[in-house]
Amino acid sequence: MSLESILSHILDEARAQKEKIIHDARLEAEKIIKEAKAEAGVLRKEIFEREKSLFERQMQKAVVNARLEHKKNLLEAKQELIGAAFRRLKSTLKAEKFKKEQVLVDKVREAPENVDFYLDRFRQLHETEVAKILFK
């Protein structure tokens, strides 16, 4: 064999090994890429489910808070209406209508009664009934 044929043979074997190494490297790279994509898909799904669950809890919390705020506002409005009804009742009552007798040492006299005392007591006893009438 001549030197050229030996060199040619060595170069052919080197090319063949190079092609085999490149082919094996490409197969290994494809395998690694497939595994990485599969793992990324699993991680993406886990992250998505976790974030979806978190979002749903936050949405439920927001809905509950909004409902609570609505009920609070409604209650405040009702309390204001009830208060207005009792203030109107007070404005229609005149202190002269409620009088009491004061017994002094030498005489008895009439004095105006404290309307607020009776209205406060009346409100404590009848606020629920007034609310039922106002908010049928």
What are the extents of the domains in the chain?
A: 1-92, 95-136
Chain center to CA of 58: 5
Burial of 113 (0-12, 13-18, 19+ CB in 10 A): middle
Which DSSP helix (H) or strand (E) runs through 12?
helix 3-92
pLDDT score recorded for residue 102: 77
Instruction: Render each residue's pLDDT in the chain as its tens digit; 136 residues.
Output: 688 888 888 899 999 999 999 999 999 999 999 999 999 999 999 999 999 999 999 999 999 999 999 999 999 999 898 888 888 887 777 655 667 777 788 888 887 777 777 788 888 888 888 888 878 7
- Look up the pTM and report it: 0.54
pLDDT score recorded for residue 53: 96
Q: Give the CA distances from residue 26 to residues 20, 29, 35, 77, in Å, rounded to whole numbers and listed in that order.
A: 10, 5, 14, 74
Cα 129-81-91 angle, rounded to 5 deg? 90
